[in-house]
Amino acid sequence: MGLLTEKTVVITGAGNGIGRATALLFAQEGARLIVNDSGAARDGSGTHRGPADEVVELIRESGGAAVSNYDDVATESGARGVCAQAVNEFGGLDVLVNSAGIIRDKTLLKLTPESWDEVLRVHLTGAFLCTQAAALQMKQQGRGGRIVHTTSISGMLGNFGQANYAAAKAGVYGLMRTASIELQRYEIFVNAVAPLAKTRLTEDLPMFEKIDDSMTPAHVAPAHLFFASHLSGKRTGHVLSVTGGKMSLYKVVETAGRFKEAENGVWTADEIAEHFDSLQKL
C-alpha cells in the first residue's frame, strides 16, 4: 500500500518541473491523478498538450492511473473543470496540489501592467480558484481533504527583478493561511511548499549556472507528498521550505515590542525613531 493508494489527486502545472516530479512520485505511491498542464511557455504564452500527455503516458506505462487535463486553471471554468474531471474519472477528489506558474521577470521600473497582471493571474488567482473549487467538492464529500500550495522564497523574502512573482507568491501565503483557518473545521488541511530548484523557470538564474543535480524537482516532490498524505496528520497553515537537501519552515513572527502608557499610548514619530532598534528584538 502506498501513501496515496485510492486517493484522487489534482496537480496543476504537472507537465514540467516540480509539478511533473510530484505527479510521478504520487503515482508511485498509488494516487489516481488528474495531470493538469496547458502546455504554455514559461512566460505563459501558447498552449500544447504534449507535456501533460507525456506525464500521463509515463504513469500509465508504470501501471498507474492518470488522465490529462489542459484547462487554464486561472479561469473559473478551468478550475471547476479540472476538479469536476477528478469526480467524473475517479469518483471524487482527495488532494489538490497547486503547482502551475509562469515567470516574467523585470525590475520594478520596467515591469508592465500586463506582465504584472498575468503573473498574478496564474499564480494567485489560479491558486484561489482551484482551492475554492476543490474545497467545495471536499466539503460536499464529507471526508476531508488536503490542499498543498506552492509559494516561494521570493514571496517570503522578496527578490530583485521579481516584483510580480514575489507579490503573487506572498499572496499565495496569505491565501493558504486564511484557507487553513476557514477549512480546518471540514478536516481540509491546507499547507504550502516554498521550493528552490533548477527548473525551466529558474534555470537561467546565475545561481544555477554551476548547479546540476543538487537542487532538483525531485528534492521538492517529497514535501508535497508529506502534506498530501496522512503523515502530516492535522498540520495546517505551514510553509515547508526545500532548498536541495535542506528543509526548514517559514514563519511570520511578531517581535516582543514595547508598550507606551503615557498619552493614552499614542506614539510620536520621534519616539518610534528613538526606540526602533529595540522594537526589532524578538
209 in the same domain as 227:
yes
Q: Answer yes or no: do 203 and 271 share one domain.
A: no
Q: Is the residue at 115 inside a domain? A: yes
Q: Which amino acid, residue 237?
A: G
**What CATH number corresponds to the domain at position 240?**
3.40.50.720
Do 247 and 264 fall within a single domain?
A: no
The total domain count for the chain is 2
Same domain? For 147 and 80 the reply is yes
Say yes or no: 66 and 93 in one domain. yes
Backbone angles phi, psi at 243, to 5 degrees: -130, 95
* Same domain (yes/no): 60, 182: yes
User: What Cα–Cα distance (Å) separates residue 213 from each residue in 106, 182, 199, 203, 207?
Assistant: 28, 39, 11, 12, 13
Q: Are strands 239-243 and 246-250 parallel, antiparallel or unpaired?
A: antiparallel
> Residue 213 has what DSSP assignment?
S
Are residues 213 and 259 both part of a single domain? no
Distances (CA, A) of 235 to 204, 238, 282: 35, 7, 25
Nine cell digits for residue 190 = 491546507
Residue 191 lies in a domain: yes
pLDDT of residue 75: 97
Is 132 within the bounds of a domain? yes
Cα separation, 189 vs 8, in Å, equals 16
Strands (E) located in 74-130? 95-97
Cα angle value 225/156/106 (rounded, 5°) = 110
Residue length of the chain: 282
Among residues 101, 243, 230, 257, the alpha carbon closest in space to that of 168 is found at 101
Both 245 and 263 in one domain: the answer is: no
Query: Based on the domain organization, do 51 and 141 belong to the same domain?
Result: yes
**Set 165, 173, 186, 250: catalytic member:** 165
Cα(27)–Cα(228) distance, rounded to whole angstroms? Answer: 13
**Domain-located, residue 3:** no
Sign of CA dihedral 27, 28, 29, 30: positive
pLDDT score for 45: 65
- Contact present, 92 and 141 (Cβ < 8 Å): yes
- CA 107 vs. chain centroid, Å, equals 23
Amino acid in position 190: V
pLDDT in tens, the chain (282 residues): 899 999 999 999 999 899 999 999 999 999 999 999 987 776 666 667 889 999 999 999 999 999 999 999 999 999 999 999 999 999 999 999 999 998 898 999 999 999 999 999 999 999 999 999 999 999 999 999 999 999 998 899 998 999 999 999 999 999 999 999 999 999 999 999 999 864 545 455 544 555 566 668 999 999 999 999 999 999 999 999 999 889 999 999 999 999 999 999 999 999 999 999 999 988
- pLDDT at residue 198, rounded to an integer: 47
How many CB atoms within 10 Å of residue 162? 22
- pTM score: 0.92
**Which pLDDT does position 216 carry in this prediction?**
87
| Residue 2 in domain | no
Residue 134 placed within a domain: yes
Give the orientation angle of helix 217-228 with respect to helix 17-28, to 10 degrees: 50
Q: Do 282 and 184 sit in the same domain of this protein?
A: no
Strand partners, 195: 242
User: CA 241, CA 260: separation in Å to the nearest integer?
Assistant: 37
Domain that holds residue 154: 8-251
Catalytic residue check, 250 = no
Residue 269 and residue 184 share a domain: no
Is residue 120 included in any domain, yes or no? Answer: yes
Q: Decide if 1 is inside a domain.
A: no
**97 and 230 in one domain?**
yes
